[in-house]
């Protein structure tokens, strides 16, 4: 009886910790920076199931970038492919941080979750310049993720990336997680002691 109770408790605790771990690693992303004269990196490579974030970094006046990804891999950029719409360096906001123009975007995301291979893309600037790059999608690897890697000026700190993408800070509430674990431990211990006392009482009655 004691072993069954303890085993059940450990299984519950293990499930909670596993779910917490999964949520902490969910939503991986790879940032591609659209600079004034280059793409950083020009050739990106990451795993299936990862979001590609295209971030506008061209601060020249009245400049916009438009991205087309050859998502059907037919070698032609046309209306059947994914298009980002115009991306700009700055979007005006009100005192609450809400964009005045909801159609204004500094960054855009594209999730690659169905097909592996090489996906060419082009970036058309509002001044007529066109830049080209490739995104290579590989099968998921159970090993260590390399999404943190970057090259040269492609490296950005977390605050810059989050600001460019318009992502509000949502820090992990480790205190709540800790309290949950403590509550589970105390609750499990209470159940264990209660059942242990009942078991002793039954043994005493049998004697």
Both 16 and 91 in one domain: the answer is no
User: In angstroms, rounded to a whole number, what is the distance separating the alpha carbons of residues 55 and 57?
Assistant: 6
User: In angstroms, rounded to a whole number, what is the distance separating the alpha carbons of residues 164 and 55?
Assistant: 6
Both 112 and 85 in one domain: the answer is yes
Both 63 and 112 in one domain: the answer is yes
By the 8 A CB rule, do 72 and 63 touch?
A: no
- The whole-number pLDDT of residue 177 equals 67
State the residue range of the domain holding 187: 11-22+172-206
- What is the CATH number for 43? 2.60.40.420
Both 39 and 114 in one domain: the answer is yes
Both 66 and 141 in one domain: the answer is yes
Assigned token pair, 56: 């506008």
Both 151 and 193 in one domain: the answer is no
Both 196 and 113 in one domain: the answer is no
Is 1 domain-assigned?
no
Residue with tokens 């360096």: 89
Is 3 domain-assigned?
no
User: In angstroms, rounded to a whole number, what is the distance separating the alpha carbons of residues 151 and 155?
Assistant: 6
Give the CA distances from residue 196 to residues 87, 157, 205, in Å, rounded to whole numbers and listed in that order: 65, 53, 14
Sign of the dihedral defined by the CA atoms of residues 19, 20, 23, 25, in that order: negative
Both 119 and 188 in one domain: the answer is no
The model carries a pTM of 0.59
Give mean pLDDT, residues 66-75: 97
- The total number of structural domains in the chain stands at 2
Is 4 domain-assigned?
no
Both 131 and 84 in one domain: the answer is yes
Q: How confident is the model at residue 141 (pLDDT cuts 50, 70, 90)?
A: confident
Both 120 and 188 in one domain: the answer is no
Q: Mean pLDDT, the chain, as a whole number?
A: 77
Q: How confident is the model at residue 201 (pLDDT cuts 50, 70, 90)?
A: low
Both 18 and 52 in one domain: the answer is no
Both 84 and 181 in one domain: the answer is no
- The whole-number pLDDT of residue 16 equals 42
pLDDT (tens digit per residue) in 19-56: 443 333 345 899 999 999 999 999 999 999 999 999 99
pLDDT (tens digit per residue) in 160-189: 555 544 544 444 455 666 777 667 777 766
């Amino acid at each position: 009886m004691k072993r069954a109770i303890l085993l059940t408790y450990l299984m519950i605790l293990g499930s909670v910790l596993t779910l917490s771990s999964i949520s902490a690693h969910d939503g991986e992303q790879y940032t591609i920076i659209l600079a004034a004269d280059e793409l950083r990196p020009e050739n990106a490579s990451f795993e299936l199931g990862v979001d590609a974030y295209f971030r506008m970094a061209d601060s020249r006046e009245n400049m916009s970038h438009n991205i087309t990804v050859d998502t059907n891999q037919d070698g032609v950029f046309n209306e059947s492919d994914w298009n980002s719409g115009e991306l700009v360096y700055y979007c005006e906001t009100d005192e609450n941080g809400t964009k005045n123009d909801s159609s204004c975007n500094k960054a855009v995301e594209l999730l690659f979750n169905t097909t592996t291979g090489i996906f060419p893309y082009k970036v058309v600037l509002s001044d007529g310049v066109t830049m080209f790059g490739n995104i290579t999608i590989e099968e998921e690897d159970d090993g260590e993720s390399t999404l943190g890697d970057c090259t040269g000026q492609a490296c950005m700190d977390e605050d810059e990336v989050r600001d460019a993408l318009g992502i509000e800070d949502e820090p992990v509430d480790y205190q709540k997680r800790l309290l949950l674990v403590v509550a589970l431990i105390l609750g499990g211990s209470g159940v264990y002691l209660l059942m242990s006392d009942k078991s002793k009482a039954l043994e005493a009655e049998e004697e």
